[in-house]
Structure formats: C-alpha cells, structure tokens
Amino acid sequence: MRHVARKRFGQNFLCDAHAIAAIVDAIAPHTGDFMVEIGPGLGALTQPLCGILGQLTVVELDRDLATHLRKDSRLRVIESDVLRVDFKQLSSTMGTPGNLRVVGNLPYNVSTPILFHLLAFAEYVKDQHFMLQKEVVDRMVAQADSSEFSRLSVMLQWRYRMEKVLDVGPECFEPAPKVDSAVVRMVPLASAPGIDVARLSELVQVAFSQRRKLMRNTLGPWLDQRGFAGTFDLQRRAQEVGVDEYVELARQLRDRPDLKPLPASNSR
C-alpha cells in the first residue's frame, strides 16, 4: 500500500526487518493469545504477529489505513482514537479478563495520554509492549534519585513492573523521526489495596510541580490543607522519594476530605 505519513497522526512507520524481528521476539506471541495492537499502520508488526497468532485485533485512527487493514480477514479492525476504546469491554469479548496483551508503536505526540488511559484498565491486561520515544521510556523506568525520575515514573511504576528491552534508531523508520526510540515491557502488578488513584495522581502532580524545590514548598502546604498529621519527610526534592513512599502517603490520605481540584500542571 502506498501511503504518505500524516504528521497530525504522528506517523513514522517501522520498516527495518531486524528491528521488527527483535520486537516480535521481545513480545513473544503464542497461539491463542488475546492481543490488541495500537496503531498498526502499514502492518510491520501486524503481519508477523498474525502469522503466529492467527488473528489479531487492531486499533487504527487513520481511515485509509483502517480500510486497507480490513482486507485481511485475520484482523478485527477498530477504527477509533485509542483514547476512546474501553479495554475492559474489549477484554470481556476476547477471553478471560486479565489475559489481554497490548502492543504497539505509539504515536509519540500522544504517548503519555495513551499510557494514562491504559492505566485505568491494568487489571484486565497481562502485559504491554510499546515502542516509544527513548526519552519517555527512560523516564518510565527511571529509579528514584535520578534526573529522569518523574511524575510519569511514579504513576506507572506503582502499577507496573517495567523494563526497557530494546533501543531502536531513527533509521529503522520511514520517515525517520528526529529522536531515538525504545521498546518497553509493562507487566501489571497486583493493585495496592486502599489506594485512591486520583489522590495519588494529585499528590504526585503537586510534588513534581516544582521539581527543583524542596517539597516543603510544594507538597507541604498541600498536606497542611488536608489536615495531614502523619510523618513524611518534606526536606527532600520530589525525585528523591521512592514510589512506595508516594503510595503509602496516598494510602494515609485516603480518608481526608477532597478540596477543589488543582489546575493542570506541566510537570513531567
């Protein structure tokens, strides 16, 4: 199929045979797996995955690509913005909840919203393998007390075990992006009991809103407003606090009354 990549969809099509084979090996598909591919594009991963699975569900926003993909009888094509897809419902139609496998070369311009959208469906997923901008993957897997550790690190690591499995250079795509890429493996962890995810998200957002300042200047006032009487060391910067500490703080706050929502933050 001849198709001109569309910038508004963030399209960069994987075309390197060695990279494709390495990604499929990392995914390790097996006959009978219930798998969904996000953004199949021209089918670089779709075809080898189908060759093993026999059938595959794909989510494609581009109308022309969706039309082309429907010509393959092995594919169930969902023509939609992935941010509108209910993966709980999708899981219920594809087998036992918790067995859904999700893969894809995510559009780099909307990768973070997609990751947060999927976070709400983690209990229905067995694993996820995504190609993303390398800088984003480095933040996703970063450990506390490193410069890459961020709000994204905390909000994903509390729910997933994550591993960077492969680096992919710009030359492996057509057109070539201006950044390096990487593949990340995300395996859902057992959900921590007693956690209000919205509260965890809010407190982490506040903590990282001014990452160079000590948290006594950011998270401190926020905790005071909520009548927090527990113990939490605020004489640190946000990136110096581990994921488990943020989760425990959210657990301690779960019974505190909510105040008005915070304005949107540009923190990473």
| Tens digits of residue pLDDT in 205-225 | 999 999 899 999 999 999 999
**Alpha-carbon distance 47 to 15, whole Å?**
12
Give me the DSSP letters along 15-27.
--HHHHHHHHHHH
CB atoms within 10 A of CB 41: 26
Beta-carbon contacts of residue 158 (< 8 Å; ≥ 6 apart): 189, 192, 195, 200, 243, 246, 247
Domain boundaries of the chain, sorted by first residue: 7-188, 197-253
Q: What is the pTM of this model?
A: 0.88
Beta-carbon contacts of residue 244 (< 8 Å; ≥ 6 apart): none
- Going by C-alpha positions, the residue among 218, 199, 191 that lies closest to residue 207 is 218
Q: What are residue 58's DSSP bridge partners?
A: 37, 77
Query: Please, which pLDDT band fits residue 94 given cuts at 50, 70 and 90?
Result: confident
- Going by C-alpha positions, the residue among 45, 41, 53, 50 that lies closest to residue 17 is 45
Query: Please, which pLDDT band fits residue 142 given cuts at 50, 70 and 90?
Result: very high
Give me the mean pLDDT over the 64-74 stretch. 92
pLDDT for residue 266 is more than 70: no
The answer to whether domain 7-188 and domain 197-253 are alike in fold is no
> CA 40, 86, 34, 114 torsion: positive or negative?
positive
pLDDT for residue 267 is more than 70: no
At 159-194, the pLDDT tens digits run 999 999 999 999 998 878 788 999 999 999 987 667
- Give the pair of three-digit tokens for residue 54: 């026999």
Q: Is the domain covering 7-188 a CATH 3.30.70.1280 domain? A: no
Q: 197-253 sits in which CATH class?
A: mainly alpha
pLDDT for residue 259 is more than 80: no
Query: Please, which pLDDT band fits residue 81 given cuts at 50, 70 and 90?
Result: very high
**CB contact at 8 A, 19 and 38:** no
Predicted local distance difference test score (pLDDT) of residue 183: 97
**CB contact at 8 A, 74 and 10:** no
